[in-house]
Structure 1
Amino acid sequence: MSHPSRPRKAWLASYSELFGLWRRKAESREDAEDAMHDTVVGMLENNTALIDNPRAYLARGTSNRLISRHRHQTVLTVLPLDELSDTEHPRQAGADSHAQFEQLADALVSALADLPPKCREVYIKHRLEGWTHTEIAQDMALSRSMVEKYMTRALRHIHERLHHYVPD
């Protein structure tokens, strides 16, 4: 059995040092652990020998994941319905809401039909089926960047076609 190479030992040595740093900076210890572990998994999946500076990769990857977690938590604040004020509660459906919903659904189907096939497939897999961009890229044999471009194109097209359904 061969011994681990020198660069592999170097990034492993950096792990505990960087983890201590991120544990102090993160909102919670668990967030720091999760971000570091996700970054390490990414390193191992992408072959650590191909990474020029594993310590910098580990530091930047962890930083990016912590920022993403923070953004996700601040953007998606969830409140139970009973904590909302009366003005914030969802409106009750009116008599014509079913007809409006059917019109909107038909318009969405029409907008999707106008998209190029790959663009439509990316939109459906991501927005309707819940796939990640990475999963879509692997399934469709595309780069993640191309998946993001298709998704952006689909969102723009749908926005242009459905913007008049948005209440004032």
Structure 2
Amino acid sequence: MSHHTDSILLATLITYYDDLKAFLTRKYGCRLLAEEVVQETCLRVNQLTHPVALDHPRAYLFKMAANLAVDHLRSEKRRTRYISAEAVTENVSNGMPLPETVIDYQQRLAILQKAIEELPPRCREVFMLHKFEGLSHLEIAHRLKISRNMVEKHVIRGLAHCRDRLRQTFQ
């Protein structure tokens, strides 16, 4: 994949990161799934080896993410950790998360906290400012006096590291 196409896709992904997450959350009703799929989309973009025709990079990314979400849901079903529609509806209606969802979520949080602690200091600082304080890449670049490109690299490295840690645990 040409570096140019790569950087266009990456820039598009970064621009629409939150939109993509919101779209997937609405579509599948699960913020954790959305978060995971967006991270996976980041990894896929990083791993692309052949050039893609990019008339509409945003549409391409949304399609890629939607396909990944479907794959993800299929493999969840196969692992029989699939929860019946009745149980979900019942729990959604009384506003209570399912117990296994809560445990799974707490476990994921603990893994993510540890993964973030493992990041190199500058990478961790950028990642925290972006993900937890909601600063834009430009704001972080100004605050830390580094290039916006460097901010993007740190954010993607942080996401990839967190994703790998989750993968290792939930294989």
Q: TM-score with structure 1 length normalisation? A: 0.45
Structure with the greater alpha carbon radius of gyration: 1
Q: TM-score with structure 2 length normalisation? A: 0.44
- Whose relative contact order is higher, 1 or 2, with alpha carbons under 8 Å and at least 6 apart? 2
